Copies of this chain bind each other. A is one copy, B any other.
Amino acid sequence: MKKSLVALALMGVFAGAYAQSSVTIYGTVDAGISKRTGTTTQVGKRDNNKLGFKGIEDLGGGLKAIFQLEIRYEPDTGTIENTSGANSRPLFQGQSRVGLQGDFGTVRLGRGLTAFQETSTAFEPWSGIPAVAGYQTDLQVAGYSSDPLSPVGNSGNRFSNAVFYNTPMIADMFQLNVTVGAKEANNGPAIIGKGIATAPQFAANSAPVTTPYSLSATAANGPFAAYAAYEKNAIETKLWSVGASFKPMNELKLMASYQKQDQGNSTLINPDTKAWILGANYTVGAGMFRLGYGQKTPDNALGNPALAKTKQASIGYDYNLSARTYLYFDASNKKAATTLNYYGLGIHHNF
């Protein structure tokens, strides 16, 4: 039979112009029971929940095409993350990127974690997951947001409309990472900043005035690893961060980081926020303990109790049922203007 002309679409669709490739479906379901100061017992989570699609195509000569699309959702309600009217996060909140990998490194376009955000998670005692007991969402970023001009509720760890570059490993030890965002508006709300309510410094749906970017460098040698990162967002808030980890023995990983946010471009008083974290991961049999302590310090805070120093101490325990599934328990005490105690237990399943 000759080729159906009209129904080229049908053909393409059902016969397949190209072979079915290596689409991998992956994800995380993490659900548990938690209790924090001032609320009833809730069904919640420790980690982000993901449903993702990714693939890699060998183009020959060491060149590869890669893509990744990652849905984020809440298992307790079945919604995508942060659903509330028009403020839902993107369907592919986790990331949506496509690019090439080769001897020159990796180049990707789209939306994803910035170089700083992607780098620093390896130096956080909860492995960078946004657990209440962990340090990623608040202390490890010193209160900073990578994406202040996106809609309220959108992720603060990502650039949209960006180019992502990672070098290959240099001298078997070093790697550099760069993320550069386009100066595109993204339907964000107004930010008063140094303006006034009727004339905000950044109007609604502002585009970045200067190009946002993020840089990080890492080094790893035997039991030692370290990073340094610098990022400037769309409203010219600056963040720098350094961290290191050390494994005195195979079962123990010690880590520390320091970060400073400078909001001088959009804040008249107290523009600087500093934070540091100490952490440890200690493996015993099928279990692993997570320990952390950290502080976050706004400058000139003495006159304003709302700007009190934040102090957080946390302990967690993972019990591995397999390489993909573990049970966990977290407990945390976080003192700021008020004190938050948190307990959580649950199950974390990768697929």
Q: Using a CB–CB distance below 8 Å, which chain A residues touch chain B?
A: 1-10, 13-14, 16-18, 20-27, 29-33, 40-43, 51, 53-57, 59-60, 63, 65-69, 71, 73-80, 83-86, 90-101, 106, 109-111, 113, 115, 118-119, 121-122, 160-163, 166, 168-169, 172-173, 175, 177, 182-184, 186-187, 207, 216-220, 225, 227, 321-325, 346-347, 349-351
Please name all residues of chain B whose beta carbon is closer than 8 Å to the beta carbon of A86 when the two chains form the complex.
Answer: 84-86
Please name all residues of chain B whose beta carbon is closer than 8 Å to the beta carbon of A119 when the two chains form the complex.
Answer: 6
* CA–CA, A90 and B118, complex, Å: 29
Are the C-beta atoms of B42 and A5 separated by less than 8 Å?
Answer: no
Could you write out 8 A-B pairs with CB less than 8 Å apart?
A2-B220, A6-B122, A21-B351, A40-B183, A51-B53, A57-B351, A77-B90, A79-B90
Indicate whether A322 sits within 8 Å of B95 (C-beta atoms), given known contacts A40-B184, A220-B3. Answer: no
Query: Nearest 3 CB-CB pairs, A to B?
Result: A78-B90, A29-B98, A78-B92
Please name all residues of chain B whose beta carbon is closer than 8 Å to the beta carbon of A111 when the two chains form the complex.
Answer: 75-78
Please name all residues of chain B whose beta carbon is closer than 8 Å to the beta carbon of A219 when the two chains form the complex.
Answer: 5
Please name all residues of chain B whose beta carbon is closer than 8 Å to the beta carbon of A27 when the two chains form the complex.
Answer: 23, 53, 69
Please name all residues of chain B whose beta carbon is closer than 8 Å to the beta carbon of A13 when the two chains form the complex.
Answer: 54, 68
Are the C-beta atoms of B76 and A91 separated by less than 8 Å?
Answer: no
Please name all residues of chain B whose beta carbon is closer than 8 Å to the beta carbon of A169 when the two chains form the complex.
Answer: 1-2, 4
Are the C-beta atoms of A109 and B33 separated by less than 8 Å?
Answer: yes
Please name all residues of chain B whose beta carbon is closer than 8 Å to the beta carbon of A55 when the two chains form the complex.
Answer: 351
Are the C-beta atoms of A99 and B347 separated by less than 8 Å?
Answer: yes
Please name all residues of chain B whose beta carbon is closer than 8 Å to the beta carbon of A6 when the two chains form the complex.
Answer: 115, 118-119, 122, 166, 175, 177, 216-218, 227
Are the C-beta atoms of B76 and A92 separated by less than 8 Å?
Answer: no
Q: How many copies does the complex hold?
A: 3
Indicate whether A77 sits within 8 Å of B186 (C-beta atoms), given known contacts A14-B54, A40-B207, A98-B347. Answer: yes
Partner of A73, one of B26, B41, B96, B325: B96
* CA–CA, A37 and B229, complex, Å: 35
Known: A57-B325, A65-B321. 4 other contacts (CB 8 A): A41-B182, A43-B163, A76-B109, A78-B111
Please name all residues of chain B whose beta carbon is closer than 8 Å to the beta carbon of A207 when the two chains form the complex.
Answer: 40
Please name all residues of chain B whose beta carbon is closer than 8 Å to the beta carbon of A84 when the two chains form the complex.
Answer: 86, 187
Please name all residues of chain B whose beta carbon is closer than 8 Å to the beta carbon of A100 when the two chains form the complex.
Answer: 347
Indicate whether A122 sits within 8 Å of B57 (C-beta atoms), given known contacts A42-B182, A90-B83, A184-B42. Answer: no
Please name all residues of chain B whose beta carbon is closer than 8 Å to the beta carbon of A347 when the two chains form the complex.
Answer: 65, 98-100, 109
State how many angstroms separate the Cβ of A260 from the closest Cβ of chain B: 20
Most buried by B among A33, A92, A94, A216: A92
Partner of A31, one of B26, B98, B184, B187: B98
* CA–CA, A216 and B183, complex, Å: 44
* CA–CA, A95 and B13, complex, Å: 12
Are the C-beta atoms of B187 and A118 separated by less than 8 Å?
Answer: no
Indicate whether A5 sits within 8 Å of B75 (C-beta atoms), given known contacts A40-B183, A347-B109. Answer: no
Are the C-beta atoms of A69 and B73 separated by less than 8 Å?
Answer: yes
State how many angstroms separate the Cβ of A158 from the closest Cβ of chain B: 8
